[in-house]
Amino acid sequence: MSEALKQSLDLALFWEYRAVLLSGLLFNAGIFACAGLAALVLGLAAALLRLSSARPLRWIGTVYVELFRNAPDYVMLVWVHFVLPLLLGLALRTRIEFHPFLSAVVALGLVYSGYFAETFRAGIQSIPKGNIEAGRAVGMSEALILRRITLPQVVRRMLPEGLNIFISLFKATTIVSLIAVPDLMYRVSMVTQQEMQPLPLYTGAALTYFAIILVVATLLRWAGDRWSRSVLA
Amino acid sequence: MSNWERLVWNQRDALLSGLGVTLEICLLAFVGAIVGGLLLCLVRLYVAPLRPLAILLIEFFRATPIFVQLMWVNYVWPEVLGWPNTFFTAGWVALALQSSGYLAETFRTGIEAVPRGHREAALSVGMSRALIFRRIVMPQALLTAAPSLVNQFTVVVKSSTLVSVITVPDLMFQSQKIVNVWYEPIEVLTATAAIYIALVFSISQAGKYASDWLRRTYGLQG
């Protein structure tokens, strides 16, 4: 038993395969970046729909948000990868297949847009009406008001919650290995099968993610606090 | 016979037994997370010598992705600790670990939100520290923590889909098994997604009503 403990803490094997494993991390980063961007854009759109004055639009926004916010990441990933191409294929009468990378970006982008939509909505609702009315009074268009008055304040207010969503998204990128995107976890399981030694590899992966997320989250929170203070002051 | 009937309705026994396993593992994990989270939180707040260890554990559980933790508990723990010895146990233990980190912080926020004056008042009427914790601090802390607790339960349900990867026969596992037999994923996977979405949605709605009711009944502010 102590032999196993020693082995699980002996990260030499993890180090030996560092090039393979770390290039897997690039896939995590790439999916994180693409899905994060998609989630922000879709989330903002959904929030604007939910706040729209037209009832049908509001209704569509609500259904969209509740659908994706309540869907488990993994279920969504499997659905987008295996069902969505078939449905699109039936509609377009062709054979469609999604590259696993695309499925991962679409699935995570949709799920996390649901979370972002709620954060955007809360942020937009917290803006005093007078600001928007003042913008209209000086003749700004609705788009200009959104860009120059509403969004800058919203971004500041949703920063802490937004960071949390981004951190969850980064953690969620680890499940893309399950549809064969060659990310860090995928490579860990490959090397494990080759070397028949799961202990140091899974421990190494856990420690790697722990370190990355802790460091990045702490830095971002610190930078965000500083920025918010400097803008508000 | 439509595909829905053949692939979903006729497979209802498998899907329902999967749903049962999902609920079972989620409840076990959640109870484990509450116990573990409370323990971590109390150690962090009141046991000074062990505080750094508690903080390290909380941060580790919170900052490691659930899938990585699941693999780690499933492959590494049995070799090092000789436990857990079934996939089911590994599944709920991993889910519980992850949530215990979050709940520890939720409980801490709740405890720290109790005004000092309440504790001082209790001390001045001669209550013991244990009694103060049980009668004054904990009830208020739980009220503050209630919405986050429900929210964390929905996170557990969502994460529980991953235990299918280590062959725990939950809903996701059963539905993928049906897909692998028939090679027709559309109906089964859509139905599965709908069940999960409905489940998580009803939990969060029920939680919203429950915490509103608690707040109204016990006069706590938002």
Break chain B into its structural domains and give their ranges.
3-218
Distance (Å, rounded) from C-alpha B38 to C-alpha B105? 9
pLDDT at A9: 67
Q: Which domains does chain A carry? A: 2-232 (1.10.3720.10)
| Cβ <8 Å between B80 and A4 | yes
Percentage of residues in chain B having pLDDT higher than 70: 98
Does B73 contact A at CB distance below 8 Å? no
> CB of A109 within 8 A of CB of A42?
yes
Q: What is the DSSP string of B165-185?
A: GGT---HHHHHHHHHHHH--H
pLDDT at B160: 96
User: Which CATH code of 3.40.50.11030, 1.10.3720.10, 1.10.390.10, 3.40.50.300 fits the domain covering B3-218?
Assistant: 1.10.3720.10
pLDDT bracket for residue B3 (50, 70, 90): confident
In the block, residue with structure tokens 């393979």: A20
Does A215 contact B at CB distance below 8 Å? no
pLDDT at B220: 53
Q: With contacts defined as CB-CB under 8 Å, which chain B residues touch A67?
A: 197
Does A82 contact B at CB distance below 8 Å? yes
Q: Which of A27-41, B65-79, B149-163 has the lowest mean pLDDT?
A: B65-79
User: pLDDT digit string (tens) for A96-147?
Assistant: 899 999 999 999 999 999 999 999 999 988 889 899 899 999 999 988 998 8
User: pLDDT digit string (tens) for A48-98?
Assistant: 999 998 999 999 999 999 999 999 999 999 999 999 999 999 999 988 899
Decide: helix, strand or coil at residue A181: coil
Q: Which residues contact B202 (CB under 8 A, 6 or more apart)?
A: none
> Is residue B133 over pLDDT 70?
yes
Does A209 contact B at CB distance below 8 Å? yes
Q: What is the mean pLDDT of residues B110-122?
A: 91
pLDDT bracket for residue A230 (50, 70, 90): confident
> Is residue B123 over pLDDT 60?
yes
> CB of B68 within 8 A of CB of A174?
yes
> Is residue A35 over pLDDT 80?
yes
Comparing alpha-carbon positions, the chain B residue that sits nearest to A175 is B67
- Give the mutation candidate from B56, B80, B167 for the A interface (greatest A CB count, under 10 A): B80
> What is the separation, in whole angstroms, between the first and last Cα of chain A?
58
| Cβ <8 Å between A172 and B65 | yes
> CB of B67 within 8 A of CB of B5?
no
Distance (Å, rounded) from C-alpha B46 to C-alpha B116? 16
Q: With contacts defined as CB-CB under 8 Å, which chain B residues touch A206?
A: 64, 68-69, 72
> CB of A171 within 8 A of CB of B66?
yes
> CB of B97 within 8 A of CB of A231?
no
Q: Which residues contact A171 (CB under 8 A, 6 or more apart)?
A: A209, A213, B64, B65, B66
> What is the separation, in whole angstroms, between the first and last Cα of chain B?
53
pLDDT bracket for residue B221 (50, 70, 90): low
pLDDT at A32: 95
User: pLDDT digit string (tens) for A153-198?
Assistant: 888 888 888 999 999 999 999 999 999 999 999 999 888 888 887 7
Closest Cα in chain B, distance from residue A174 (Å)? 7
> CB of A187 within 8 A of CB of A180?
no
Q: What is the mean pLDDT of residues B7-13?
A: 86
pLDDT at A8: 64
Distances (CA, A) of A202 to A76, A207, B72, B81: 25, 9, 6, 15
Q: Looking at this protein, which amino acid is placed at residue B169? A: P
Q: Which of A132-136, A225-229, B187-191 has the lowest mean pLDDT?
A: A225-229
Percentage of residues in chain B having pLDDT higher than 90: 69
Distance (Å, rounded) from C-alpha B197 to C-alpha A75? 10
Q: With contacts defined as CB-CB under 8 Å, which chain B residues touch A209?
A: 63-65, 68
Q: Looking at this protein, which amino acid is placed at residue A56? A: P
Minimal Cβ distance to B63: which of A7, A78, A214: A214
- B31 or B4: which leads in pLDDT: B31
> Is residue B83 over pLDDT 70?
yes
Distance (Å, rounded) from C-alpha A71 to C-alpha A179? 17
Instruction: Choose among A212, A208, A214, A216: nearest CA to A17.
Output: A208
pLDDT bracket for residue A40 (50, 70, 90): very high
pLDDT bracket for residue A231 (50, 70, 90): low
Phi, psi of A97 (to 5 degrees): -130, 145
| Cβ <8 Å between A213 and B154 | no
CB count within 10 Å of CB A62 equals 14
- Where are the alpha helices (H) located in A98-183, listed in sequence order? 100-125, 129-137, 142-145, 151-172
Distance (Å, rounded) from C-alpha A49 to C-alpha A65? 10
Cα–Cα–Cα angle for A199, B152, A169, rounded to 5 degrees: 60
Minimal Cβ distance to B76: which of A8, A178, A210: A8
- The 8-class DSSP code of residue B127 comes to -
Distance (Å, rounded) from C-alpha A157 to C-alpha A74? 30
> CB of A109 within 8 A of CB of A118?
no
Closest Cα in chain B, distance from residue A156 (Å)? 22
Q: With contacts defined as CB-CB under 8 Å, which chain B residues touch A87?
A: 186
> Is residue B222 over pLDDT 50?
no
Q: Looking at this protein, which amino acid is placed at residue A177? A: S
> Is residue A2 over pLDDT 70?
no
| Cβ <8 Å between A75 and B75 | no
Q: How many residues does chain B have?
A: 222
Q: Which of A13-17, B140-144, B152-156, B203-207 has the lowest mean pLDDT?
A: A13-17
Distance (Å, rounded) from C-alpha B181 to C-alpha B179? 5
